[in-house]
Structure 1
Amino acid sequence: MDCWVDGQPADALSLKDRGLAYGDGLFETIAVRRGQPVLLDRHLARLADGCARLAIAADLERVRQELLSYAAAMGEGVLKFILTRGDGLRGYAPDPAAPGRRILQGNPPAAYPVVHGEQGVRLFPCVTRLSNQPLLAGLKHLNRLEQVLARAEWRDSEHAEGLMLDQAGRVIEGVFSNLFLVRDGVLITPDLKRCGVAGVMRAEILFQAESLAIPTQITDISLEQLQWADEVFVCNSVYGVWPVRAYAALSWPVGPLTRKLQTISRALLDA
């Protein structure tokens, strides 16, 4: 499909756009199934939080309607929505009155190997570490160089994802996913108050777990704590849940809670 810029088909972007110059903006990667954007309310809630924290102007109802219209025309695939601060003059200082710029781009359905979900994946131990910045923690902002560097660390097919730590060596997330572990029936995920992306599938899994009376915990996790996990999995809003079977010298079985939450995520993505 054609890209849309501010609601109109377009194939060019202003060179003055601050998203291009400074990464000044936010984005959402949204699965589209049968013409519907999956987990749309969660994507919009995260976008609203980002707009408020970065002071980027956006008419979120207009965004919703554009996403619905674009997804209906797509049918199936992955929709990338980018919101920048729009055009600006030279220099870092933002214009508080600048209207945000909305960019929609459709992509074909993600073609991940089925075996990732069935048998689990191996995580690559990324050397690149995430910087601590509480003001940006949780946001899906346009500055993704840490993820670019981390993903460049491996090119083999043995590793489907990488595990990223923060500056203190705490486990934070995958390069393009969030991480959970299970210990004694408790579902545990890293605290993202210092860095990391608060994924919409992460939020949905926590919600679903609590609705099923599965104990949950959001806390700091060390590499040592991974050793005593009974199950480990990663998730995102496009593929759902992948069990993790190995990381470095550690390994885990594909456990029952992982399978239960994987089934729920598949139902959401196939609804």
Structure 2
Amino acid sequence: MDLTAILGVLIALAAVLGGNLLEGGQLQELLNVPAAVIVVGGTLAAAIIQSPSQDVARAFRLVGWAFGRNKQDLSQNVDKIVNWCVIARRKGLLALETEADKEKDSFIKVGLLLLADGKGPDILRSTLEVELVTLEQRDLQGVKVIESMGGYAPTLGIIGAVLGLIHVMSNLSDPAALGAGIATAFVATIYGIGIANLFLIPVANKIKSLVLMRYQHQEMILDGLMSIAEGQNPKAIQQRLQGYLG
């Protein structure tokens, strides 16, 4: 679990709620179920209408990824690649099948199996690059869904406010309730702008950075596997891959 991301969400909530309290407001003034239904439900509906179902499903998985364990340990994988090179030189490429069985990452598993089958560097690169680029493009499509929700949410907030004002104006016979009714109506605007700028857009940007980090990590894996296929020695591979660690 990414505690930094969760901490960011908590700070955002604390900033809004704390600011409201400092202004003399009350917590219950910001609680409005109809406004939440309009903003959240409308935003989800717009995203579902706009995007294919597989992109919407991927977007929700990516949100989980943004708040889950997502740190790539590049140095550990450099050590793994060097170890695979040592195994290949001592026992032959076929021994990498056993190493492939230990890996959960499908990208690494496919690469090791290709090496074990004796595939050359060109075939290795062409095969793995297809998987690398395809996965990146699919995830970026999911990010676009989240970004679009960040664009729709403020508009749905305005719609919620207008609907609230219509309800207020239809009850002008009770002037004492007008102030509270108008204040409640604008809660929907707060929901829309807040959800967009404090959650959806930041999460989309974080996922973009995670996709880029994973791409660079897979590029390093691919480079290392190709070096093994070319027959380079472990020391040379380690020195080559150190450049990815920055």
Same fold (TM over 0.5): no
Larger Rg: 2
So what's the TM-score if we normalise by structure 1? Answer: 0.21
**Structure with greater strand percent:** 1
Higher relative contact order (CA 8 A, sep 6+): 2
**Structure with greater helix percent:** 2
